[in-house]
Structure 1
Amino acid sequence: MIDWDLAISLGSRLAGEGPVVSRAEAADAVAELRAGAHRSTGLVRDFTGLDAPAGTAPILVVDRPGWVQANAEGFEAASRHMVAKLAAEKPPSRIGQAVGSKVTGAEVGGLLGFLAGKVLGQFDPFHEPHGRLLLVAPNVMHIERELDVDPHDFRLWVCLHEETHRVQFTAVPWMREHLFSEIRAISDAVEPGGFLEGGLERLLEAAKAGRKGGSIVEMFSSPEQREVLDRVTGMMSLLEGHADVVMDDVGPTVIPSVAQIRARFTQRRKGLGTLDRLLRRLLGIEAKMAQYRDGAHFVRSVVDKVGMEEFNAVWAGPENLPAKAELADPESWVRRVLG
């Protein structure tokens, strides 16, 4: 149903190569990011108490086409169950499949091309057997120049956040499979034939009204899928907020200019153009920005109240993850989980 080769080819072309740097500058950045990620492992462990087994998930420093390739592989793995279900319940004709796969391949490629120039790093949980950490060197170099901040400090700051995600998934053994089960639950709720019915109208209305949550994912989701998405939102907000707390609280001990970096990075998010804001809303990126804020508020509130050791009960099992409503009411999570 999706021409992945086309998606990778188109996405790589649209992504571009990033800032112009010398071969020596590029090599230095790659080496520094790799070293920063390894250095961050111990910093994250000492601050959070999460101990990730050594050598479980590789650390890769990639360019934009490399990020596109990795995420196409991840998307393919994530969508495999849904694609198989749709194909079994409503098999397309041979011509329809050939044309449709090109269309969806172009759509996925366009999405990957747009995102490839913006992502600084990510943990890819779909890579077997334990996932992998991706750091996008040209984007890190582009932003550090744009913000006019110390590049060595900025690179370690980024590594602290992204390495926290690698530690979360490798130190908490059930996390990865739980995410996969939630993705399967979303796929199981798909209704062929009604999948797009009314979705475009709802999407355009929400975008025109400027409502929060007017993303493609939510507009094309059924009520059953949105229930799962709410659970995933709680989980991802925890992970993103937890990583933000680590990067900002550990930062002052090892990154002299962390306050300046955070201030300029936050200000940059506010300076986006109208088209960029619209695309971010439709693709759900604005919601991801809210995850950083809401998740960090939740983590700080609970840690301030009960301490890091008690907070770590959140990693004991899926039932201890915060619900979406608990993000705004950390006290309710404390009462439910810690009594």
Structure 2
Amino acid sequence: MNLFRSVRAVADASATGSGTIDWDAVAEASKAATDPGSLDLSSAERTGYAADVSDARERLAVVADVSFDVPDVVEVQNRHHWIDANVETFRRIMRPFEEHGPMVFPGVTRAVNTGTFAFVLSFLGNNVLGQYDPLLLAEGDDDHGLYFVHPNIRRVADSLDVEYPRFRRWIAFHEVSHAAEFGAAPWLSTHLESRMERGVDALIDGDLDRDAFRELDTAMTAVEGYAELLMDRAFDDDYEDLRRKLDERRRGGGPVAKIARRVLGLGLKRRQYERGARFFEYVADERGVAAASLVWEHPENLPTDAELDAPERWIARVSP
């Protein structure tokens, strides 16, 4: 970790190139501020990751009664690998702003934006455990990706005082649950992309498309909630202690971490988990997991914002 090199990369962004963000500097600065961590895996650990993903796929397919494939790209990464993969994601999302956004003070804006995204990627790189990446807004035929940030998984398992192989397996089941959703719903990526693009285009025009962001939030609540349902029904061990300890850890941390979590909307994501989980638990208890899986048959089956808090209305509409 080299904080001087990180600051230097951001400072240089104000003097070179064009555009509102220097993405090469973002990657350099975020990695300079982040210890990559060790990827010195034993053969047992490599076998363990592969077995966890394979077992999760088989269990989830049976429990959800849906057909899906695990992404071709399954990587055990260090923190720098994760940052490299996600710089491209952030670049795709921010491209419309870069193409149309105003540049009142070009040098200052470029440096501030570059520093902001370097901080975000460094913070996330130090905290993300696993990620299912549907590669939203990607061009061409890019496949989806499944990533495990090994140094973070090991560090968090130790800090929570939980058995590492069990914790690693829990993370694998959660991320493969997301793969199940996108595999069962080929339309889901396009649905999320369209709402994201509508919202971004409106912001660029100085407007706020509340419907687009509401629909995006509703869809993501369904995504997170359904994954929680599958985890609850498919994981081959009780995991309440893992969830409780991880939640307690996330609520802790220093002032910088708390501010970063608030700015990044990580509290919102937790609310999406909880709200979506309540919805799908009700549906599964009333009609079974297969009925809950009907949500992925086509976009019209997604719950509305009102139905998320009144799942009986969704059942009456979709699974009478």
TM-score range, shorter chain: 0.7 to 0.9
Q: CA RMSD in A?
A: 2.4
Q: Which residue among 8, 17, 38 is the counterpart of 2:36?
A: 17
Alpha carbons of structure 1 residues 326 and 13: separation in structure 2 relative to 1, 3 Å: farther
Q: Which residue among 97, 101, 118 is the counterpart of 2:127?
A: 118
Partner of 2:160: 147
Alignment partners' CA distance in 2, 1:282 and 1:292 = 18
Say if 2:101 is the partner of 1:62: no
Identity %: 30
Alpha carbons of structure 1 residues 24 and 161: separation in structure 2 relative to 1, 3 Å: closer
CA deviations 1:238-295 (Å, max 9, x no partner) are 11122222223222xx33x634323323333343444433321222111011111111
- Return the offset for 1:24: 4.6
Say if 2:227 is the partner of 1:227: no
Partner of 2:8: none
Which amino acid counterpart does residue 304 of structure 2 have in structure 1? A
Alignment partners' CA distance in 2, 1:41 and 1:81 = 36
Alpha carbons of structure 1 residues 275 and 2: separation in structure 2 relative to 1, 3 Å: closer
Q: Which residue among 52, 57, 78 is the counterpart of 1:36?
A: 52
Structure 2 gap segments, 5+ residues each: 1-19
Alignment partners' CA distance in 2, 1:35 and 1:321 = 32
Partner secondary structure for residue 109 of structure 1: helix
- Return the offset for 1:97: 4.8
Partner of 1:266: 247
- Return the offset for 1:159: 0.3
Partner of 1:323: 304
- Return the offset for 1:109: 1.0
Which amino acid counterpart does residue 147 of structure 1 have in structure 2? L
Partner secondary structure for residue 203 of structure 2: coil
Q: Which residue among 178, 184, 200 is the counterpart of 2:197?
A: 184
Alignment partners' CA distance in 1, 2:276 and 2:161 = 28
Partner of 1:137: 150
Partner of 1:104: 113
Alpha carbons of structure 1 residues 59 and 266: separation in structure 2 relative to 1, 3 Å: same
Asked if 1 retains the 8 angstrom alpha-carbon contact of 2:39 and 2:151, the reply is no
Asked if 2 retains the 8 angstrom alpha-carbon contact of 1:130 and 1:170, the reply is no
TM-score (norm 1): 0.79
Asked if 2 retains the 8 angstrom alpha-carbon contact of 1:123 and 1:134, the reply is yes
Partner of 1:237: 221
Asked if 2 retains the 8 angstrom alpha-carbon contact of 1:62 and 1:134, the reply is yes
- Return the offset for 1:81: 3.5
Partner of 2:91: 76
Task: Single out whichever of 258-267 and 106-115 deviates more from structure 2.
Answer: 258-267
- Return the offset for 1:30: 4.5
Which amino acid counterpart does residue 227 of structure 1 have in structure 2? D
Partner secondary structure for residue 118 of structure 1: coil
Partner secondary structure for residue 127 of structure 2: coil
- Return the offset for 1:12: 1.4
- For these two proteins, the number of residue pairs brought into alignment is 297
CA deviations 1:58-106 (Å, max 9, x no partner) are 211111111111111111122334433x15xx5x59xx55654343222
Partner of 1:291: 272
TM-score (norm 2): 0.84
Asked if 2 retains the 8 angstrom alpha-carbon contact of 1:36 and 1:159, the reply is yes
Which amino acid counterpart does residue 11 of structure 1 have in structure 2? S
Task: Single out whichever of 270-279 and 323-332 deviates more from structure 2.
Answer: 270-279
